[in-house]
Amino acid sequence: MSLLSRTKSDIVFDWVNNIILTIILLLVLYPLYFVAIASISDPVLVSGGEVWFVPRKVTFEGYGRVFNDPNIISGYKNSLVYAISGTSINLAMTLTAAYALSRKNLIGRNVISFFLAFTMFFSGGMIPTFLIVNNLGMVNKIWAMIIPNAVGVWNIIIARTFLQTSIPRELYESATIDGCSHTKFFTSIVLPLSKALIAILILFYGVGHWNSFFNALIYLRDTKLFPLQLVLRGILIQNQMELSMVKDQDLLAERQNIAEIIKYSLIIIASLPLLVLYPFLQKYFVKGVMIGSLKG
Amino acid sequence: MNLSSKKSAISYLSHNYELYLFLLPTIIYIIIFHYVPMYGVQIAFRNFIATKGISGSEWVGFAHFQRFFNSYYFGELIRNTLTLSITSLAAGFPVPIIFALLLNQLTNIRYKKIIQTVTYAPYFISTVVIVGMIIIFLSPRTGLVNHLIRFFGGEAVFFMSKPEWFRPLYILSNIWQNTGWGAIIYIASLSKIDPTLHEAAIMDGATKIDRIIHIDIPGIIPTVVIILILNLGSVMSVGFEKVYLMQNSLNSQTSEIISTYVYKTGMLGAQFSFSAAVGLFNSVINFILLAIVNKIAQKMSDVSLW
């Protein structure tokens, strides 16, 4: 009897569980799916609420107009430059600092760790930080997009934990007997053994740079330097459309519809680099999150 | 210092000086971009004038703080900041845990993988795009949601310009974006639970629900506590970007929070000292909260941040 009721209860549970999870899946997926189909459907039908499940009257006009807009192209280029150069500096600084802190024989290790960690809990705030960047002459320069975020303390801690747990001590000890310097050991042994760590750091830093909007908002004035996110904000949120995108000969009503389809196409294009990286990096997610949760 | 310790210091440095060189760029960066601004925080107690420099500007003590505490928007800012962050936490914190518990029971591994892949994805979408999507979907004339409302015979709702909709929209979109990613850590800690516990429980006739309550939940409590501390500690630092992007003149009654106010008075209004005072007030409260929460957690369990 008890065996029977148990299986019965579990069967009901499995059914309900499957239904709940499927609803969650659809709730997360549908908005993304809708943006994708709306970006290639006739804008009149999209705005009229007639596109729901499949694209209708397929057109690539939205994409065409997006690719013809000089601001978006320059924003895209700027964002790529900021993300690639920023992430490179992030990686170099994070990995070297984390390696040094992972060496137990480093004198002053605790003091330096505290010196870094303290900044995670207390900061000078927006205005004093802005004044420093301003005093250094970085405002409205590409440097303002890279140097003020040159390294993240949290990521140093993640990297240090990873190196401590995944590079065996004996490896370093035997290397030093052979007269191997730290630099040599770091470049020829630590780095090749840290592919997972490097992938995680590229993911965290790269996504951070690509999606960053705040630094550009406060440090940049010149539209030529604007990263994609700031251009996107103008179009998606403040509803500013350039004349080059919405042509004069378009009728007013049509113009509004075209403005809508441009937004959908833009969302897809803006998320493209992440969509491309996503499958490659997905297997490292769990590792990245888990290292971060370890203490010490 | 005798000769041998001098000798060992030299030998230590000759072997390890590279480690300090490795740390040098990071230390210089941290000093310039984190500690110098902390020193610069004193402009909150001065009437900062750029040409006079920080130490040349007149000392006014707590005048800016007093002005802030006595201003009529002080109550509203504190209320908005706390309400938004506490309701976000209360509504958003349990969702990834429940999601992880349910996902963990899924028997079809392939389906589980698909759900994970899809639900992680929104985490990587930028705040600008998320807010853009909210605005597009909720547009009164062309938005998806209002088409649906009209389809069921309702009237279009002007979501973005109604103050009462700001918080639900902020919180729901956060849940949509972060549930999958937030669940990773719980899924991982569920997978570390000893499988023999489950096997023994099955032998004793425990149902899946019994096992969730008596094995899974107790098993992930330490992780839950750590994440909760981290979240509670940042109650006052609710994200600037998303609030700022969702804000407009019509909903500012509920959407104006301390960080957006600091930005507006400081960066746009150029009241550097006043705005630095408001920001400092915010970080001090934040720091105290984190310390209190950490202390409590330490007392109640063995889990703590430091």
Q: Give B220-231 pLDDT, tens digit per residue.
A: 998 898 888 778
Whether B249 and B101 map to the same domain: the answer is: yes
Domain count along chain B:
2
Last residue of a domain, one of B45, B61, B77: B61
Whether B118 and B143 map to the same domain: the answer is: yes
Of B72-86, B90-104, B257-271, B281-295, the poorest mean pLDDT is in B281-295
B14 within a domain of the structure (yes/no): no
Mean pLDDT of B69-92: 91
Whether B50 and B139 map to the same domain: the answer is: no
Q: Is B59 helix (H, G, I), strand (E, B) or coil?
A: strand
Cross-chain Cβ contact B283/A122 below 8 Å: yes
State yes or no: pLDDT of B21 exceeds 80: yes
State yes or no: pLDDT of A81 exceeds 80: yes
Distances (CA, A) of A280 to A160, A162, A202, A283, B51: 23, 20, 11, 7, 51
Choose from B8, B12, B19 for mutation: most chain A CBs within 10 A.
B19
State yes or no: pLDDT of A253 exceeds 80: no
Whether B36 and B154 map to the same domain: the answer is: no
* CA triple B135-B141-B144, angle to 5 deg: 60
For tokens 């976000």, name the residue. B88
Whether B152 and B36 map to the same domain: the answer is: no
Q: Report pLDDT for A292.
A: 62
Tens digit of each residue's pLDDT (9 = 90 or more) over B137-164: 998 888 899 999 999 988 989 999 999 9
Whether B84 and B147 map to the same domain: the answer is: yes
| Mean per-residue pLDDT over chain B, rounded | 89
Cross-chain Cβ contact B267/A126 below 8 Å: yes
B197 within a domain of the structure (yes/no): yes
State yes or no: pLDDT of B62 exceeds 50: yes
Choose from A127, A211, A213, A272 for mutation: most chain B CBs within 10 A.
A127
Nearest to A227 by CA among B88, B196, B128: B128
What one-character DSSP code corresponds to residue A227? -
Whether B32 and B83 map to the same domain: the answer is: no
Cross-chain Cβ contact A286/B114 below 8 Å: no
Where does the pLDDT of residue B237 fall: very low under 50, low under 70, confident under 90, or very high at 90 and above? low
Q: Report pLDDT for A246.
A: 60
State yes or no: pLDDT of A2 exceeds 70: no
B24 touches chain A (CB under 8 A): no
Q: Report pLDDT for A160.
A: 92
Contact in structure between A182 and B22 (CB atoms under 8 Å)? yes
Q: Report pLDDT for A295.
A: 45
User: For residue B202, what is the domain's CATH number?
Assistant: 1.10.3720.10
B176 within a domain of the structure (yes/no): yes
In chain B, where does DSSP find H-type helix? Answer: 3-30, 36-40, 53-56, 63-70, 74-92, 94-104, 109-120, 127-138, 144-151, 163-191, 195-203, 208-211, 217-233, 240-246, 252-255, 258-262, 272-300
Cross-chain Cβ contact A271/B36 below 8 Å: no
Q: Which residue of chain B comes nearest to A38, CA vs CA?
A: B144
Amino acid letter, A274: L
Q: Which residue of chain A comes nearest to B17, CA vs CA?
A: A182
Where does the pLDDT of residue A6 fall: very low under 50, low under 70, confident under 90, or very high at 90 and above? low
Alpha carbons A289 and B294: distance in angstroms, whole number: 21
Give first-to-last CA distance, chain B, whole Å. Answer: 35
Of residues A201 and A250, the one with the higher pLDDT is A201
Contact in structure between B295 and B239 (CB atoms under 8 Å)? no
Contact in structure between A159 and A95 (CB atoms under 8 Å)? yes
Q: Report pLDDT for B236.
A: 66
The pTM score is: 0.89
Sign of CA dihedral A203, A273, B114, A196: negative
B39 touches chain A (CB under 8 A): yes
Q: Give residues 168 to 207 of A whose Cβ lies within 8 Å of B.
A: 176, 181-183, 186, 207
Cross-chain Cβ contact B185/A100 below 8 Å: no
Tens digit of each residue's pLDDT (9 = 90 or more) over B170-188: 999 999 999 999 998 899 8
For tokens 């030299």, name the residue. B10
Whether B52 and B138 map to the same domain: the answer is: no
Whether B294 and B203 map to the same domain: the answer is: yes
Whether B140 and B251 map to the same domain: the answer is: yes
Domain that holds residue B38: 20-61
Cross-chain Cβ contact B114/A47 below 8 Å: no
Where does the pLDDT of residue A5 fall: very low under 50, low under 70, confident under 90, or very high at 90 and above? low
Last residue of a domain, one of B10, B39, B61: B61
Between A17, A115, A127, which is nearest B106 by CB? A17
Q: How far is CA B65 from the centre of its chain?
A: 25
B78 within a domain of the structure (yes/no): yes
In chain A, where does DSSP find H-type helix? Answer: 2-39, 43-47, 61-67, 70-102, 109-121, 126-135, 153-166, 169-177, 182-185, 195-211, 214-219, 228-232, 252-281, 285-293
Mean pLDDT of B238-260: 90
A289 touches chain B (CB under 8 A): yes
For tokens 């009257």, name the residue. A57
Chain A residues within 8 A of B266 when measuring between CB atoms: 126-127, 130
B5 within a domain of the structure (yes/no): no
Whether B56 and B80 map to the same domain: the answer is: no
Last residue of a domain, one of B11, B30, B61: B61
Nearest to B131 by CA among A154, A269, A239, A74: A239
B9 within a domain of the structure (yes/no): no
Q: How far is A73 from chain B (nearest CA, A)?
A: 17
Q: Report pLDDT for B301.
A: 65
Tens digit of each residue's pLDDT (9 = 90 or more) over A123-143: 888 889 999 999 999 999 999
Whether B95 and B202 map to the same domain: the answer is: yes
Mean pLDDT of B232-251: 83
B3 within a domain of the structure (yes/no): no
Q: Give residues 103 to 162 of A whose Cβ lies within 8 Å of B.
A: 103, 105-107, 112, 115-116, 119, 121-133, 136, 147-148, 150-151, 153, 156
Q: How far is B286 from chain A (nearest CA, A)?
A: 9
Cross-chain Cβ contact A96/B25 below 8 Å: yes
Could you give all domains of chain A from N- to C-terminal order, each with its CATH number? 2-67+242-283 (no CATH), 70-227 (1.10.3720.10)
B173 within a domain of the structure (yes/no): yes
